[in-house]
Amino acid sequence: MRNWLLPENIADILPATARQVESAKAAMLERFRTYGYELVCPPLIEYIDSLVYDGDTALVMKTFKLDDQMSGRQLGLRADITPQVARIDAHLLSSRQGVTRLCYAGSVLHTVPESAMRSREPLQIGAELYGSSDVGADLEIVDLMLASLEGVGVGGLTLDIGHVGIFRALAAAAALPAPLTAELFGVLQAKDIPSAETLLAGAAEPFRSALLALPGLYGPDALSRASQCLPALPEIRRALADMQAVADSVAGRATVNFDLSDLRGTAYHTGLMFAAYAPGWSDALARGGRYDNVGDKFGRARPATGFSLDLRDLVRVLPQRSPAMGIRVAGADAGRAREAIAALRTAGEVLVIDYLGESATALNCDRALVWRADGWQVEPFASH
């Protein structure tokens, strides 16, 4: 029995990568703090009806479920931390009436991976801003998302900008029934134009043509084309203006691409959506968007915007860094050198006690702590 095998799309993180992941996490959480975001740590498990939203079948399917032996109710292992943070804002922090900024970092679990290369245990880190519907809040989140990636050495960023509100405005104007709207949303997510044409066979113009045009509205010039071919609904005009505002805010910092057909957000997204890409990885490194009123099911509907990313994915495109070289001290000397070892470790040095007489390469040390006439000294250490 090969009991060392792990389930498919589940993997250990080994030393060099683990240090890189934890360093990136620490750097991002520190950046969140400087922007005013407070850290929260929701539980890995809670009642299933708190973890998923009505109508979000994709999130329901991704969530592991089990029975609670204590309450008899169904529990879920979280597949997304955003709903938990919305619960905290709506319920536990309900006394706060102004803007609330929260951040988090933790593992989530998926029943199936989002793609063949992705883990079923993403390490999700993100930031959420509650209480402001102003586009400035979205600009802050986009800025923080890009700054977080830049801060850990990811360069050459491309920002895709979309807006799910355009689809919702067109569906409402066409008076599409809710079941048809949900089915059409899924079809457009898959960019299945023939099926979309079938579903919209009886829809009123110009909304039918506008909905069918969405999959073709992508690229740097998509906004100008959209303003010409989409109905001049107030919601659409605002959406296009907000997308342009995001693009203007990142000018010179990231390559911008508009995509009005990008409906890959979950069912709770309501407005602006954005995703960051980088060379070397085909999928988005980070995604975010607006999800107003998501706290309604917890008793307080508030405007909200945020972003998140998977640190396990991110490490694939992080610059490779060699671990810091340490200082070797012979095991026989460790007792006598206790104070010197403590002082060096306090100063941030790596001190490795060598019990077996190993090489410099094996110990990852380029210096040695040795006793000389004038006390303990740090000298170059070569393999022997």
Q: Is 38 annotated as a binding residue?
A: no
- Do residue 221 and residue 134 come from a single domain? no
Asked if residue 315 and residue 368 are part of one domain, the reply reads: no
Residue 57, marked binder: no
Torsion of CA 130, 131, 132, 137, to 10 degrees: -20
Looking at residue 16, its pLDDT comes to 80
pTM over 0.85: yes
Whether residue 198 is annotated as binding a ligand: the answer is no
Same domain, 137 and 200: no
147 and 161 housed in the same domain: no
88 DSSP assignment: I
| Ligand-binding site membership of 262 (annotated) | no
319 and 330: one domain?
no
Helix (H/G/I), strand (E/B), else coil: 74: strand
Tokens of 185: 């949303």
Q: Is 197 annotated as a binding residue?
A: no
> How many Å apart are CA 263 and CA 270, to the nearest integer?
11
315-365 residue pLDDT tens: 877 777 777 899 999 999 999 999 999 999 999 999 999 999 999 999 999
* Residue 82 annotated as lining a ligand binding site: yes
Q: Which domain holds residue 313?
A: 1-153+285-323
- Cis preceding linkage at 206, omega within 30: yes
Residue with tokens 């001049």: 232
CA separation, residue 32 to residues 24, 27, 309 (Å): 12, 9, 14
CATH number at residue 274: 3.30.930.10
Q: If you ran DSSP here, which 8-state letter would residue 320 be given?
A: P
Domain co-membership, 2 together with 113: yes
Kindly indicate the confidence band of residue 182, based on its pLDDT and cuts at 50, 70 and 90: confident
**CA 228 to chain CA centroid, nearest Å:** 34
Instruction: Assess contact for 261 and 246: CB atoms under 8 A.
Output: no
Q: What's residue 1's pLDDT?
A: 63
Among 284, 330, 253, smallest CA distance to 114 is for 284
Per-residue pLDDT tens digits for 23-60: 999 999 999 999 999 999 999 999 998 898 776 778 88
Q: Which two tokens stand for residue 68?
A: 């609670």
Q: In the chain, what percentage of residues exceed pLDDT 90?
A: 71
Quick one: angle between helices 234-249 and 222-229, nearest 10? 170
Q: What is the pLDDT of residues 233-257, one digit of tens each?
A: 999 999 999 999 999 999 999 999 9
Statement to judge: residues 189 and 338 lie in one domain: no
262-283: burial string, b at 16+ Cβ within 10 Å, e else:
bbbbbbbbbbbbbbbbbeeeee
Tell whether 33 and 175 lie within a shared domain. Answer: no
Residues 251 and 293 in one domain: no
Bridge-based pairing of strands 218-219 and 281-290 is: unpaired
User: Structural domain tally of the chain?
Assistant: 3
